[in-house]
Structure 1
Amino acid sequence: MKLDLSFIGTALLQLIAAIPTTLSITAVSILCGLFIGTIVALIRLYKVPVLHYVAASYVTFVRGTPMLIHLLLIYFGLPILVDSLSAQFGWSFRSISIPMIAFAYISFSITAGAYLSEVVRSGLLAVNKGQIEAAYAIGMTTPQALSRIVFPQAFAIVLPNLSNSTISMLHGSTLVFTVSVVDINAKSQIIASSNWKFLESYIAAAIIYWSLTILIERLTTMVEKRLQLHKEGGVT
């Protein structure tokens, strides 16, 4: 068996078409997961009655089970729920109308939410409580104190972990081939099966994932430098 270097280039060109799908899954998962994670973190920090235990159970369950299981639970469970509700309330919508990529969006957002809740919670805990007390002293409400004082500082603190979570979700998105979504990984398998050049196809996929990972790291570094300049007063 001989490595066909020229086919790696051919595979790279064909894989470019699948990049938007992979990036959309990663972006939606992180953005929705960050929203979910922030809500869950606040519920746990402020120990909201009843919801505190629900949030803790959610985080424990998701962090204690694999991403693939989450995806399969949503893939097989959501249609049953949707069809049951549709039958009960007389809706015309059926689960067959749900696009396959939606299962990935929902599943990975739930997964990211649990992990990011811990990231957000650690960032919020790292902010000096004295600043919150000072905000209260000048008449700010809790939402104002959080949005103007706590969250900006917490974001700067958790940025490296947020970057790592984004990279993890990028790599985790390779699981979507199990629900027939054609991302970079699935596309590489299609290319390989049609030419029987599996090694070359997977090398091409690895190059793209590596490049995307480097891009995320570079963007994170740029944001960190920008935040540092603001902190030091270098930018008005």
Structure 2
Amino acid sequence: MQLDPQFILTAFLDLFQALPMTLLITAVSLIGGFIIAVPAALVRINRVPVLSQIASAYVTVIRGTPMLMHLFLIYYGLPILIDSVSRKLNLGFTSVSIPIVYFVFVAFSLTAGAYMTEVIRAGIQAVDRGQVEAAYSVGMTPVQTFKRIVLPQALAVSLLNLSSEVIGMLHGTTLAFTVSITEINGRANIVASTNWKFFEAYIAAALMFWGLTVLIERVTARIEKKINTFNRGGVA
């Protein structure tokens, strides 16, 4: 067997068909994860009775089990729950009508949420308590203080860890092919199956993921530079 550089280029160009799906899964999962992570981090920090224990259990279970397992549990388990509720309420609705990608969104959002909870929790705890007290002293409500003082600084502190979560979720989208979603990895399999040039197809997929990863790292570095410039009192 000989390496076919020309097919690597052919496969690389073909993989662009699957790029939108990969980016969509990544974006939706991260947004969903962030929506889960912020309240989960807050109830853990404030040790809200019952909710704190639930959030801790959620983080421990998700972080302690593989991402592929989350996908399979949601893919096979959530339809059972949906169909059961639909039958009891006589809704006449079945899970068959739900696009498979929605189950991927749910599974990956739960995964991202658990990891981002710990990142955001650490970021919030890193914010100087004196700034919070100063905000209260000028009449800010707890919600205003969190939105204007705490969360922006927590995200800035957590920037590098959050970028790692973005990259991790981008790479994790390759698991979606196990439930018939055609993302970059899935498209590479399809392209390779036409003439059994799997090595070249996977090289093309690896190059695409590497390029996206480098782009994320560059964007993160630029944002970090602007934040550091702003913190020093300069012009971002």
Deviations 1:141-169 (Å, cap 9, x if unpaired)? 11111111111111110000000000000
Following superposition of structure 1 onto structure 2, how do residues 65-104 of structure 1 map, counting pairs within 5 Å? 65-104=65-104
Following superposition of structure 1 onto structure 2, how do residues 1-236 of structure 1 map, counting pairs within 5 Å? 1-235=1-235
Count residues in correspondence.
236
How far apart in 2 are the matches of 1:115 and 1:189? 29
Pairwise CA distance, 1:228: 2.1
Pairwise CA distance, 1:81: 0.7
Pairwise CA distance, 1:229: 2.6
4+ aligned runs moved over 6 Å, structure 1? none
Letter in 2 for 1:175: L
Structure 2 counterpart SS, 1:17: coil
How far apart in 1 are the matches of 2:52 and 2:9? 52
Letter in 2 for 1:47: R
Deviations 1:23-55 (Å, cap 9, x if unpaired)? 111111111111111110001011111101000
How far apart in 2 are the matches of 1:173 and 1:21? 9
TM-score by length of 1: 0.97
Letter in 2 for 1:104: V
Deviations 1:198-233 (Å, cap 9, x if unpaired)? 100000000000000011111111211222232223
How far apart in 2 are the matches of 1:91 and 1:223? 48
Cα RMSD between the aligned structures? 1.0
How far apart in 2 are the matches of 1:12 and 1:118? 36
How far apart in 2 are the matches of 1:126 and 1:186? 41
Letter in 2 for 1:60: T
How far apart in 2 are the matches of 1:100 and 1:214? 30
How far apart in 1 are the matches of 2:195 and 2:93? 40
How far apart in 1 are the matches of 2:222 and 2:87? 51
Structure 1 counterpart SS, 2:92: coil
Structure 1: which 5+ runs fail to align? Answer: none
How far apart in 2 are the matches of 1:123 and 1:35? 16
| Identical pairs, percent | 55
Letter in 2 for 1:25: I
How far apart in 2 are the matches of 1:230 and 1:28? 30
Letter in 2 for 1:86: S
Letter in 2 for 1:38: V
TM-score by length of 2: 0.97
How far apart in 1 are the matches of 2:90 and 2:29? 31
How far apart in 2 are the matches of 1:6 and 1:70? 38
Letter in 1 for 2:96: I
Letter in 2 for 1:193: S
How far apart in 1 are the matches of 2:223 and 2:32? 20
